[in-house]
Chain A
Amino acid sequence: MSEDDDRSPPLDLRCGAAPSINRARNCSGEAVSGSGSSTSSSIPASVPVTVTEYQSQYPDQVLEIVLENVLQFLTSRRDRNAASLVCKSWWRAEALTRSELFIGNCYAVSPDRARGRFRRVRSVVLKGKPRFADFNLMPPDWGAHFGPWVCVLANAYPWLEKVYLKRMSITDDDLALLAESFSGFKELTLVCCEGFGTCGLAFIASKCRQLRVLDLIETEVTDDEVDWISLFPEGETCLESLIFDCVDCAINFEALEKLVARSPFLRKLRLNRHVSIRQLYRLMVRAPQLTHLGTGKYGPSEVAQRQGDTEPDYIAAFAACKSLVCLSGFREITPDYLSAIYPVCANLTSLNFSYATITADQLKPVICNCHKLQIFWALDSICDEGLQAVAATCKELRELRVFPMNAQEDVEGPVSEVGLQAISEGCRKLQSILYFCQRMTNAAVIAMSSNCLELEVFRLCIMGRHRPDHATGEPMDEGFGAIVRNCRKLTRLAVSGLLTDRAFGYIGKYGKLIRTLSVAFAGDSDMGLKYVLEGCPKLQKLEIRDSPFGDAALRSGLHHYYNMRFLWMSSCRLTRQGCQEIAQAMPRLVVEVIRSDDEEETDNYVETLYMYRSLEGPRHDAPKFVTILR
Chain B
Amino acid sequence: MEALGLNMGFEETELRLGLPGNRVLSEGEGARKRGFSETVDLKLNLSSKDTSEKVKSFQKEKNPLPRATDPPAKPPAKTQVVGWPPVRSFRKNMLGVVQKSSGEESDMAGGNNAAFVKVSMDGAPYLRKVDLRMYNTYQDLYHALGKMFSSFTIGNCGSQGMKDFMNESKLMDLLNGSDYVPTYEDKDGDWMLVGDVPWGMFVESCKRLRIVKGTEAIGLAPRAMEKCKNRR
Interface residues of A (CB under 8 A from B): 132, 134-141, 172, 194-195, 197, 199, 202-203, 206, 218, 220, 222, 224-226, 231, 246, 273, 331, 354-355, 357, 379, 403-410, 436, 461, 463-466, 468, 473, 475, 498, 500-502, 520-521, 524-525, 527, 545-546, 548, 550, 570-571, 573, 596-597, 603-605, 607
Contacts and interface: CB of A to CB of B under 8 A. Distances in A.
Closest 6 CB pairs of A and B: A596-B58, A135-B83, A473-B72, A500-B68, A407-B87, A463-B85
Contact of B58 (A136, A475, A545, A604): A136
B98 to A, nearest CB: 10
B129 A406 contact: no
Contact of A407 (B35, B57, B92): B92
A405 B89 CA distance: 12
Contact of B35 (A199, A409, A573): A573
Nearest to B72: A473
Given A199-B126, A226-B127, A220 B94 contact: no
Interface in B16-34: 27, 29, 32-33
B95 interface: yes
B68 A475 contact: yes
Given A135-B84, A403-B87, A502-B68, 8 more contacts: A136-B83, A137-B58, A140-B106, A140-B107, A226-B125, A379-B95, A527-B29, A571-B62
Interface stretch (B2-10, B74-82, B195-203, B213-221): B74-82
Interface in B73-128: 75, 77-78, 80-92, 94-95, 97, 99, 103-104, 106-108, 110-111, 118, 125-128
A145 to B, nearest CB: 11
Contact of A436 (B58, B87, B108): B87
Contact of A524 (B36, B67, B104, B108): B67
Given A436-B85, A546-B62, A525 B103 contact: no
B72 A468 contact: yes
A545 to B, nearest CB: 8
Contact of A498 (B35, B66, B107, B129): B66
25 contacts: A132-B83, A135-B83, A136-B83, A136-B89, A136-B103, A137-B60, A138-B58, A141-B110, A172-B129, A202-B125, A203-B126, A224-B128, A225-B127, A357-B95, A407-B85, A408-B99, A409-B84, A410-B77, A500-B68, A524-B65, A525-B32, A527-B27, A546-B60, A548-B65, A603-B36
A172 B131 CA distance: 13
Contacts of A199: 126-129
Given A465-B78, A466-B75, A136 B104 contact: yes
A534 B108 CA distance: 40
Contacts of B85: 404, 407-409, 436, 461, 463
A406 B72 CA distance: 24
Contacts of A473: 71-72
Contact of B91 (A194, A403, A501, A527): A403
Contact of A331 (B32, B68, B75, B94): B94
Q: A206, A226, A463, A546: which has the most chain B beta carbons within 10 Å? A: A546
Contacts of B68: 475, 498, 500, 502, 524
A132 B57 CA distance: 15
Nearest to B64: A466
Given A140-B110, A141-B111, A605-B35, A405 B97 contact: yes
B47 interface: no
Contacts of A202: 125-126
A116 to B, nearest CB: 29
Nearest to A331: B94
Nearest to B105: A136
B63 interface: yes
A147 to B, nearest CB: 14
Interface of B: 27, 29, 32-33, 35-37, 57-60, 62-63, 65-68, 71-72, 75, 77-78, 80-92, 94-95, 97, 99, 103-104, 106-108, 110-111, 118, 125-129
A597 B58 contact: yes
A546 to B, nearest CB: 6
B66 A197 contact: no
A545 B58 CA distance: 13
B209 to A, nearest CB: 13
Contacts of B35: 573, 604-605
Nearest to B109: A140
Nearest to A468: B72
Contacts of A379: 95
Contacts of A596: 57-59
Contact of B94 (A135, A355, A604): A355
A355 B93 CA distance: 10
Contacts of B80: 408-409
Nearest to A135: B83
Contacts of A524: 27, 29, 32, 65, 67-68
B108 A525 contact: no
A449 B140 CA distance: 62
B13 to A, nearest CB: 15
Contacts of B82: 135-137
Nearest to A220: B108
A218 B88 contact: yes
A141 B89 CA distance: 17
Contact of B90 (A218, A357, A406, A550): A218
Contacts of B60: 137, 545-546, 570-571, 607
Q: A132, A136, A464, A525: which has the most chain B beta carbons within 10 Å? A: A136
Contacts of B66: 466, 498
Contact of A406 (B83, B94, B99, B104): B99
Contacts of B118: 224-225
B129 A197 contact: yes
B88 to A, nearest CB: 5
Contacts of A225: 118, 127
Contacts of A331: 94
Contact of B126 (A226, A466, A545, A546): A226
A132 B77 CA distance: 25
A202 B152 CA distance: 15
Nearest to A222: B108
B128 A172 contact: yes
A139 B58 contact: yes
A573 B35 CA distance: 7
Nearest to A461: B85
A406 B97 contact: yes
Contacts of B88: 134-135, 218
Given A404-B85, A546-B63, A354 B58 contact: no
Nearest to B30: A525
Given A135-B83, A463-B85, A596-B58, A407 B97 contact: yes
Nearest to B29: A525
Q: A407, A461, A521, A548: which has the most chain B beta carbons within 10 Å? A: A407
Contacts of A546: 60, 62-63, 81
